[in-house]
Amino acid sequence: MAGKTLLPVRSRAAIQESAARFPPGRQRSAVLDALRLAQEENGGWLSVPLMDAVAGELELPPIQVYEVATFYSMFEVRPVGRHCVSVCTNISCWLRGGGELLAHLENRLGIGAGESTADGRIYLKKEEECLAACTGAPMMMVDHRYYEHLSTEDADRIVGELKR
């Protein structure tokens, strides 16, 4: 393993800890954990040099890291806002106003789903998947936290309180 890497020491330790859950030689299984850690350390997105560093840490060809980073919806490969807001509009949420909730936030933030605010504060994720909180519809996920049974006022307050 090369001496120089973009990954901080604590991420490297966490990546190795993850790799230890798998049999010897199967460290590729830790790539999802490694990318998640790298992305969190990097303000929510993965650059190519960062993905290369993950590849180096796990001793994988970089292509095996790129193909994972671009397959899964929770990885971002371009810069995005610091807070990730995902409004679910799948069928159960859609039936209870998830679509209207998303439109409301788009309007309020002045961006479309898939875009980030100009100040880099908020990224409004284009959410295709159901987030499995269907009985709490409509709902949204903000930085891994679920908010359920939302009114537009609730959503305004939650988004308004996000750190600058």
Q: Contact residues for another protein (CB under 8 A)?
A: 21, 23, 26, 28-33, 35-36, 64, 67-68, 71-75, 89-92, 94-96, 99, 128-137, 141, 144-146
Q: Return the ∠ at Cα 97 (arms to 93 and 102), rounded to 5°.
A: 90
Nearer to another protein (CB atom), residue 13 or residue 63 = 63
**What distance lies between CA 12 and its chain's CA centroid?**
20
To the nearest whole angstrom, how small is the minimum distance from the Cβ of residue 143 to another protein? 8
Q: Which is nearer to another protein, 6 or 130 (CB)?
A: 130
Closest approach of another protein to the CB of residue 164, in Å: 22
Closest CB to another protein among 3 and 53? 53
Nearer to another protein, 37 or 155 (CB): 37
Closest separation in Å from C-beta 21 to another protein: 4
Residues 88/137, Cβ–Cβ less than 8 Å: yes
Give the list of residues 6+ apart from residue 133 with CB closer than 8 angstroms, or none. 88, 139, 146, 148
Closest approach, Cβ 118 to another protein, in A, equals: 26
